[in-house]
Structure 1
Amino acid sequence: MLAAQRQELILDRIRRAGGVRVADLVESLAVSDMTVRRDLDVLEARGALRKVHGGAVASDGVRTEEPGFAAKATRQADEKHAIARAAAELVPPHGAVGLSAGTTTALVAEYLVDVPGLTVVTNSLRAAEVFHRAERPDRTVALTGGFRTPSDALVGPLALASIRGLNLDVLVLGVHGMQERAGFTTPNLMEAETDRALVEASATLVVAADHSKWGTVGISTIAPLDRCDVLVTDDGLDPGARAVLADHVDRLVVAGARHGEGNGS
């Protein structure tokens, strides 16, 4: 197992349980005590966790770090595909759809390439490239201008100017974190501003976020949980988080990561 994969497993356990013990990680990961402690040192340096005696717990800090697209693309890959498939099913044919930037929304684009008659507005270079490769005459794709972020989003005054004044049927929004108090968040201030403009332009907001996003707080809020019409997540989300989200969003769709099956509530 690669170090990055091992560290992601450690973070996933902390997100689910709130903390981990070194001894338990040594046994379950079949690695040495030194390897586990080295992984914890790396993750603590990134601000992803806080080391305590005998283990580690979730970091209490606000996220300002923004990993690059390639780094995020490998995380929760199966879950993201299931979420993307379910989110794409919410986009009507011949509709006007917005796609924000992110690894999950780039996958949504792949599931939208065969939907007829779409007009797509996106600030995602990755999503635009998906549609470009699958060019079809009955689709229009508008890529905003702007400055490029580590997540391959276009942001800034040019992006805002191209979004304001638009009317979109639905926006599929990717987020860095979601939490009851902070809502849907991102560590990039300029990306948050662009995402808020997309939200304001959209009649229906669909948020596509895997279970690891729960409890993570980026420095800037995009929208409160109550603004979300449909949240599409995966079956790794713990029951407590599901209950909180069900109280705030109009509809919660849980997509099965293994088979891509989903259910709504």
Structure 2
Amino acid sequence: MLARQRQTAILELIRQHGGVRVSHLVSRFGVSDMTIRRDLEVLAELGLVDKVHGGATLPGPGSAEEPGFAAKSVRQQAEKRAIAERAAALVEPGMAVALSAGTTTAALATLLADVRGLTVVTNSIPVADALHQHPRADRTVVLTGGIRTPSDALTGPVAEAAIGSLNVDVLFLGVHGMSPRTGFTTPNLLEAGTNRCLIEASRRLVVLADHTKWETVGMATIAPLSAADVLVTDAGLPAQARAQLADQVGELVVVECG
């Protein structure tokens, strides 16, 4: 196979899976590690891929670029719904739970309307709105207050002070990206700090992240992958990513959707 043909085939694989590892390409094409790295360098110079540690991914937005809640809410709707349904099964009557900002956690909030005696702590305006649309006399919603971000999260010193005085059973955390090198990330520095406070206030961390979050990197790290007791994702996540995550998180849950 000529170099150009191999590079075209590599690009197609990256487009199909969102990213590939050098080791997988070496095995697939029967060439050396150095040859594959040169191929990826060519593709990267053309702006067709982003080189990452051990492989390459599709080009993504800048690490500080933060989409608004409305823009994110139309993406991967089926996957987010399936992830939210699986996460809802982890919530029991009488629990105190925290929901971070995010479109998947907002989807989860709509599924908690029938849970008895629930206390919900959140820094997400859409999460609070979803719960207030289904009022219950036996449910308490604590909205932290703070500085509002493009993703409709409340952040900063006011939010962190409110969270710091609380203790909850489980945190459901939405993230902008996840990778072995950078862990769970967000493009917003203030949101990263508030999310770390939510983690500290929680006995258990459940991360909700669809497959498109793999190898997406935001500017600020929230926590390493190993901090997650449970990671709920969808079947679109490539097999190699599943293997890496299974080695890092406490429990990897992969849901089917559609």
User: Is 1:106 aligned to 2:100, yes or no?
Assistant: no
Aligned CA distance change for structure 1 residues 126 and 51 (closer, same or farther; 3 Å):
farther
- Residue 255 of structure 1 and its aligned partner are, at CA, apart by 1.1
8 A contact 1:119–1:139 mirrored in 2: yes
1:52 matched to which residue of 2? Answer: 46
Superposed CA deviations along residues 25-50 of structure 1, whole A, max 9, x for unmatched, are xxxxxxxxxxxxxxxxxxxxxxxx96
C-alpha root-mean-square deviation of aligned residues, in Å? 2.2
- Residue 121 of structure 1 and its aligned partner are, at CA, apart by 0.3
2:26 matched to which residue of 1? Answer: none
Equivalent positions of 1:51-130 (< 5 A) are: 52=46, 58-59=58-59, 63-130=63-130
2:6 matched to which residue of 1? Answer: none
Aligned CA distance change for structure 1 residues 89 and 13 (closer, same or farther; 3 Å):
farther
User: Is 1:14 aligned to 2:15, yes or no?
Assistant: yes
Aligned length: 218
Letter in 2 for 1:143: L
1:133 matched to which residue of 2? Answer: 133
- Residue 18 of structure 1 and its aligned partner are, at CA, apart by 3.3
Identity of aligned residues (%): 59
8 A contact 2:122–2:128 mirrored in 1: yes
- Residue 253 of structure 1 and its aligned partner are, at CA, apart by 0.8
Structure label with greater radius of gyration: 2
Superposed CA deviations along residues 131-163 of structure 1, whole A, max 9, x for unmatched, are 111000010000011011000000111100100
The normalised TM-score by structure 2 is 0.80
Other structure's SS at 2:91 match: coil
Superposed CA deviations along residues 144-190 of structure 1, whole A, max 9, x for unmatched, are 11011000000111100100021110000000000001110000000
Unaligned runs of 5+ in 2: 1-12, 21-42, 51-57
CA distance in 2, matches of 1:150, 1:117: 31
1:211 matched to which residue of 2? Answer: 211
Other structure's SS at 1:178 match: strand
Q: Could you list the runs of 4 or more consecutive aligned residues of structure 1 that deviate by over 4 angstroms after TM superposition?
A: none
User: Is 1:201 aligned to 2:195, yes or no?
Assistant: no
1:224 matched to which residue of 2? Answer: 224
Superposed CA deviations along residues 57-89 of structure 1, whole A, max 9, x for unmatched, are 523886110000011011111000000110111
Other structure's SS at 1:163 match: helix
CA distance in 1, matches of 2:241, 2:80: 18
8 A contact 1:98–1:170 mirrored in 2: yes
- Residue 14 of structure 1 and its aligned partner are, at CA, apart by 3.2
Unaligned runs of 5+ in 1: 1-11, 20-48, 259-265
2:168 matched to which residue of 1? Answer: 168
CA distance in 2, matches of 1:213, 1:113: 27
- Residue 93 of structure 1 and its aligned partner are, at CA, apart by 1.4
Q: Which is worse superposed, 173-182 or 59-68?
A: 59-68
CA distance in 1, matches of 2:187, 2:99: 18
